[in-house]
Structure 1
Amino acid sequence: MLHVLKETLGKLQLPRRTEKKLLTAADLGCSCGQNTLLVADLIVQGMADELYGGSRLGHPPPEFCFYFNDLPSNDFNTLFHLLPDSARNGGRPAYFAAGVAGSFYDRLFPERFIDVFSSTFSLHWLSQVPTEVMDENSKAYNRGKVFVHGASEATGAAYRRQFQSDLARFLRCRATELERGGAMFLVCLGRPSSAAAPVDQGTVRFLFGDMFQDSWHDLVREGLIDSDKVDSFNVPVYAPTLEEFREVVDADGSFRINRLELVMGSPPVVDHPGDASDVGRTVANNERSLLGALVDAHVGKALCDELFDKLRCRAEERAKELMEEMRFPHVVCSLSLV
């Protein structure tokens, strides 16, 4: 997907060279690992090359400030410990770093403050579970399920509306904060156009439905929790089609789409892909990194441990299928202000 990031930076129309002394960029939904810094490095270097020709043309680049955004619960301490030493000593770093805690569905920066926005693997997370999905008196009540995949048509429609509302809020905020001539690079989970119904989330079911949902029912069958606990838990994730994504961008009207495509991700990275126990352990650990905090908050750590152990066993049983099919399509988008 990095070629689209480079292409996005190629769309910048900011003042060049001595006219602009400070360039700003922000990663929205940044997490706390090395991948976050990889994206930051690529953006900073790409902006320097695009606007100043790098060091080859003899134009000293301006200073950069990179803002890392995520919810307040994100481990910003770990992230900042990973910054290169040059960002913490007396020398001039590649960029000055700052953390901005808060939801990217709200305003985070002053008007016309950021030159480049990126958000990778985050926009499929909704701001909340749709209220109708949690209402026992609603047709959209998601009884017996924990995700939109395979749910009722009413549940699917509620999830789709929530995604549309959230993405529209995201775009409105960024349209205010983005500098004229700036650009935005977005990546989120998606589903193919052939999976037109919201309740068909394609292979994303491997992450948030399917084995994960069956593991909840294992806990019910063993008497460890009652069914109400399952009914009151829903994963606030929605994987849109390209058409659904484009519809929201077009309706907002603030952005021009430079590129919008669906890119298939890689299979799971497993040390020993032929070893079912290794596949099961890796899949369970990956899913826990995504969902563990939500499950822990809902049922407590002991039952959380039990649930993901059930998931590990199920993933072991389906190891061959998972290695062949557990690949996720992603919506990759490059936007510029109209």
Structure 2
Amino acid sequence: MAAISTTPKLSGRDVPEFQVFFSDLPSNDFNTLFQLLPPLLAPAAGSLEECLVAGEGSTATTRPYLAAGVPGTFYGRLFPGGSINVFTSTFSLHWLSQVPDEVSDSTSAAYNGGRVFVHRATEATAAAYKRQFQADLARFLQSRARELKRGGAMFLACLGRTSADPADQGGAGLLFGTHFQDPWGDLVREGVVEREKRDSFNIPVYAPSLQEFRDMVRAHGAFAIDRLELVKGGSPLVVDRPDDAAEVGRAMANSCKAVAGVLVDAHIGERRGAVLFERLERRAARHARELVEKVHFFHVVCSLSLAP
């Protein structure tokens, strides 16, 4: 934003005002979001140009933009046509709009019984997840193509994978598949959670390959790919002492809980959810070295603009 604001100055034009829209599902607590935003640095005159100038070199945390919240799923329309200059979406597009229906249908070939994620699932299950991702991304691109101004840009980042096999979800698979799935089996064997309850739970996340993402954008046709890369990120297990198994176990449990805790609690209740994550922490501690070495995420990162 600071870089954008300097361009008009060089050409003698006024600095534009910035309006930022934060979008999330209606269940999101927008009040908490707005309370976390830095204060708007605005001099008495109240112009954002003065705000930007006043903020240069300042050590105070301020924001040189106006903010608003827009409730709704980004897999549908959110804004008037041709009204947005820049879209950004970071670490969200791997979340599916829903678990594919056939994955939870015990009569379907894609039924994912015994598992809670697509990682290492059957070919039919992986194909169902892939179709859901493709349908969701198509809706996302269609909506943004209507809303983006000509000359605007879109910057996206989501989980990705290196394998061509949809059932190999890489680091996400190790996190949500192998090590998150095993504690569910523990609770089923102990009678804490019913087998049917476990089998009806699936995490609606899908990490696409770079080629899958490229193919979808090209097939949609509304956007030109300016840049598209698969970037290796860090480990989601943030620990000070990677040789401390207990700390790695806690980090693993906290990472999974941060991502899927709300889904787990809604499915089996907070009490049993707490037991599940306790089991996860214990199991993760026993596999601490493997987790530190192998759990790394890859990200699909791209910039798009409207096709000519």
Deviations 1:201-238 (A, max 9, x none): 11211222111110111111111011101110011111
Match of 2:5 among 43, 48, 51: 48
1:322 counterpart residue number: 291
Q: TM-score, normalised by structure 1?
A: 0.82
Secondary structure of the corresponding residue to residue 80 of structure 1: helix
Identity between Structure 1 and Structure 2 (%): 59
Aligned CA distance change for structure 1 residues 142 and 87 (closer, same or farther; 3 Å): farther
Alpha-carbon deviations, 1:169-216, whole Å to 9, x = none? 000000000011000000000001xx2121111121122211111011
Shift of 1:89: 9.0
CA distance in 2: counterparts of 1:321 and 1:153, whole angstroms: 26
Q: Is the Cα contact below 8 Å between 1:87 and 1:96 reproduced in 2?
A: no
How far apart, in 2, do the equivalents of 1:89 and 1:296 lie? 46
Distance 2:204 2:42 in 1: 37
Is residue 75 of structure 1 aligned with residue 29 of structure 2?
A: yes
- Give the Cα separation in 2 of the matches to 1:80 and 1:58: 34
Stretches (4+) displaced over 4 A:
55-59, 87-93
| Aligned mates of 1:75, 1:102 — CA distance in 2 | 13
- Between 67-76 and 172-181, report the one with greater CA deviation: 67-76
Is the 8 Å Cα contact of residues 239 and 251 (structure 2) preserved in structure 1? yes
Shift of 1:128: 0.4
What is the match of residue 276 of structure 1?
245
Cα distance in structure 2, aligned partners of 1:233 and 1:149: 14
- Aligned residue number for residue 39 of structure 2: 85
Q: Is 1:63 equivalent to 2:17 in the alignment?
A: yes
Q: Corresponding residue for 1:226?
A: 194
Tell me whether 1:289 sits opposite 2:262 in the alignment: no
SS at match of 2:225: strand
Q: Is the 8 A contact 2:40 2:65 kept in 1?
A: no
RMSD: 1.6
> Among 110, 115, 132, which residue is 2:85 paired with?
115
Distance 1:182 1:227, change over 3 A: same
In structure 1, what is the equivalent of residue 65 of structure 2?
Answer: 95
Q: Secondary structure at the match of 1:155?
A: helix
Aligned pair count? 290
Aligned to 1:205: 173
Superposed CA offset, 1:32-56 (max 9, x none) = xxxxxxxxxxxx224324x42xx56
Distance in 2 between residues matched to 1:126 and 1:235, nearest whole Å: 9
Question: Where does residue 303 of structure 1 map in the other structure?
Answer: 272
Q: 1:237 aligns with which of 205, 209, 228?
A: 205
Distance 2:178 2:42 in 1: 45
TM-score for both structures, normalised by structure 2: 0.90
Question: Structure 2: where are the runs of 5+ without partners?
Answer: 49-63
Shift of 1:273: 2.2
Range moving further from structure 2, 67-76 or 170-179: 67-76
Are 1:87 and 1:97, in contact at CA under 8 Å, matched by a contact in 2? Answer: no
SS at match of 1:282: helix
C-alpha distance after superposition, 1:288-338 (max 9, x if no partner): 010001001100000111111111111111112111111100000110001
Shift of residue 92, structure 1, vs aligned partner: 4.5
Contact between 2:111 and 2:125, CA under 8 Å: does it hold in 1?
A: yes
Unaligned runs of 5+ in 1: 1-43
